[in-house]
Amino acid sequence: MANNTARVYRSDEGFVRQLIEPLFNKLALHRSPDVIASPRSEVEVVELMREASQQGWKVAVRSGGHSWIASSVRSGGLLLDMSAFKSISIDATKRTAKVGPAVRSGELVKALAAQGLAFPVGHCGTPGIGGFLLGGGIGLNWGHWKPACFSVRSVRVVMADGRVVVASESENSELLWLARGSGPGFPGVITEFELECQTRPADTRLSSWLFDLDSLNQVTGWVVKASRNLPSNVVVVVSTFGPDRPMLPPSEGVPSHLVGVTAIAYVDSEEEAREALNALSEGPGCSSVFQSELDPVPFEMLYSIIDATFPENHHYLADTFWTPLDVQGAMSTISELMREAPSGKSFLQAVMPGHGAAGQGLPDKEAVYSMDERTLMWTYAIWKEEADDQSNRRWMKDLVAKLEPISKGHFLSEADLHVSPQRASRCFSQANWQRLIDLRRVFDPHGTFHGFPGAGFDKTPSS
Ligand SMILES: Cc1cc2nc3c(=O)[nH]c(=O)nc-3n(C[C@H](O)[C@H](O)[C@H](O)COP(=O)(O)OP(=O)(O)OC[C@H]3O[C@@H](n4cnc5c(N)ncnc54)[C@H](O)[C@@H]3O)c2cc1C
C-alpha cells in the first residue's frame, strides 16, 4: 500500500489479536481478512479505498466490533478498522450532533445529556454507533422516537472509488436512504453521521416485576391488556430468564426460571410517570417474586442496567423475529424451550412497538429500514466455554425452528444472517430489498464491498 496508515497483515505477529480483541462475541471464527488497516482520518480512508480498488481487494468495515455475527470479519481482502473515528460535536441550538462511527452508545448519550439532549441510542453502552445506526438502531424510547436510523440527517461517505460524498435529504438522497438501515449491505465507508437529537427526558422512571415462569401466560396476558392504554413514551419489555440471571439469582423460595416485565417511562416528572404507567397497575393476578415501581434512573444511565445481562468475554448466538402475534402468543411458543436452555445465562425477550398496534407506522419512503410487525422477539444464547458450543447451537436451532413459522421477518442488526441465504432479504419489505440491491449496483458497480454475510454476496460480487 502506498500510504502510511497503520496496518497488519495475516502473517504478522499480533494479527489475530487485532482481529479478535475488538469483537464482543467470543464465538470462534473460521475466516479472516488478508490485512487490517486502521485509518486515522478521512483522507487515509480515501487512500485505502483507492488502493483496495487497484488491488482488486474486497473491503469490510468495522466500527465498534459489536455485530453478533462479526459481520466485519470476512474471508480475504481488507478490513477497515474505523476505531479512531471517535469525535462528537454537538450543536445544542440546532439540536444536532456530528458523530464518528466508533463512538460508543454510552459515550454519546452522556455527552448529549450534558447539553440537555438525548438520542435513541442502543440499550447497552458498548456497541459502536456506526453499526448500530446502519443496522436500523432499536434504541431507547423507540416506540416514540422510532428506530434511530430515522434520526440520521446526513452522512459523510467514502465510496468504493475513493470519492467523498455527503448524503442528505437534499443531495445523494438515495445513499442516505441506504444509510438508514442497510447494515452490512451499505456500499461505502461512513466517516461521520449527523444526528437529529431529542430533548432529554428529565425524569425517566422504571418499573419492573419478576414472576415464576409458570405464570408466563397470565403475565403476558396482563401486558397485552394493559398495552392498549399505554402511551407511546412507555416501552414494555417481557423477558424470560434462567438461573444465572444477574438481577435475582435463585435462592430459597425463588424459582429457577422467571418471567420479567420492565416498563420504562420516558417522562419529565414522577407524577407523569405514574400516570403513564397506570394501565399496568392492575397486575396479572399472580404474585411476583420481586417488584419495584417508579425507580428514577437518569436517561443516560439506563444502559448500565441492561449491560449486566450481556456479560463480556462470552460466546453468543443472537437472533430476532418479527411476528404478527401479540406478546402472549409469541412467548407461548417458546416457554418450554426456555427451561431446556443448556446455559442459565441465556434469555428471550419480546416487545410490542406501538403497544400492540400492528406495526409502528413507520414513515414509508425515508429509509430502507422497513420490516415491522406487531411483536419483535429476541433470542440470546450466552455461554462461557467453547466445550458448550454444540449444545447451545442445538438449543438455538430448536428455537429458530419454533419461531420461523410464526415469523414474518427479522431485525437486521441482531439477526443471524448465517442461518439461511434468505435471511438478509427477510429483514426488509420486498420492494425495499429490490431497491437496495439495485442501488448497490449503482454505488458499488464492481462489488468492492463484501455486502451481507451469508447471502451469497461473496460469490456474486455485483449482485
Ligand atoms: C451487547 C450488545 C447489545 C446490543 N444492543 C442493541 C440494541 O439495543 N439495539 C440495536 O439495534 N442493536 C443492538 N445490538 C446490535 C448492534 O447494534 C449491531 O451489531 C451493530 O452493528 C454494532 O455496531 P458496531 O459498530 O459495534 O458493529 P461492527 O461489528 O463494527 O459493524 C457491524 C457492521 O456494520 C457496518 N459498519 C460499521 N461501521 C461502518 C462504517 N463506518 N461504514 C460502513 N459500514 C459500517 C459493517 O458492515 C459491519 O460489518 C447490540 C449488540 C451487542 C453486542
Q: Find how far residue 174's CA is from the centre of its chain.
A: 23
When pLDDT is averaged across residues 399-411 and rounded to a whole number, the result is: 97
Residue 162 CA to ligand 1 center (angstroms) comes to 23
Residue 131 CA to ligand 1 center (angstroms) comes to 3
Span 198-221, pLDDT tens digits: 999 999 999 999 999 999 999 999
Find the residues whose C-beta lies inside 6 A of ligand 1. 24, 60-68, 71-72, 82, 101, 122-124, 127-128, 130-132, 134-135, 137-139, 183-184, 186, 189-190, 310, 413-414
Span 304-319, pLDDT tens digits: 999 999 999 999 999 9
**Mean pLDDT estimate for the chain:** 94
**Would you state the pLDDT for residue 134?**
98
Q: Is the model's pLDDT at 61 over the cut of 90? A: yes
Q: Which atom of ligand 1 is nearest to the CA of 85?
A: 41
**Would you state the pLDDT for residue 358?**
57
When pLDDT is averaged across residues 151-173 and rounded to a whole number, the result is: 98
Q: Is the model's pLDDT at 326 over the cut of 60? A: yes
Residue 132 CA to ligand 1 center (angstroms) comes to 4
Q: Is the model's pLDDT at 3 over the cut of 80? A: no
**Which residue has the CA at smallest separation from atom 17 of ligand 1?**
132
Domains of the chain, residue spans: 205-414
Q: Is the model's pLDDT at 15 over the cut of 90? A: yes
Q: Does domain 205-414 have CATH number 3.40.50.720?
A: no
**Would you state the pLDDT for residue 355?**
79
Pocket test for ligand 1, best of 414, 418, 443, 449 (most atoms within 8 A of CB): 414
**Would you state the pLDDT for residue 359?**
60
Q: Is the model's pLDDT at 119 over the cut of 90? A: yes
Residue 253 CA to ligand 1 center (angstroms) comes to 39
**Would you state the pLDDT for residue 461?**
38
Residue 257 CA to ligand 1 center (angstroms) comes to 30
Residue 64 CA to ligand 1 center (angstroms) comes to 7
Residue 453 CA to ligand 1 center (angstroms) comes to 14
Percent of the chain clearing pLDDT 70 (strictly above): 96
- Which carries the bigger pLDDT value, residue 193 or residue 354? 193
Residue 130 CA to ligand 1 center (angstroms) comes to 6
Span 66-114, pLDDT tens digits: 999 999 999 999 999 999 999 999 999 999 999 999 999 999 999 999 9
| Lowest-pLDDT choice from 26-40, 236-250, 326-340, 446-460 | 446-460
Span 252-289, pLDDT tens digits: 889 999 999 999 999 999 999 999 999 999 999 999 99
**Would you state the pLDDT for residue 392?**
98
Pocket test for ligand 1, best of 68, 132, 156, 448 (most atoms within 8 A of CB): 132
Span 340-397, pLDDT tens digits: 999 999 999 999 988 766 566 788 789 999 999 999 999 999 999 999 999 999 999 9
**Which residue has the CA at smallest separation from atom 41 of ligand 1?**
190
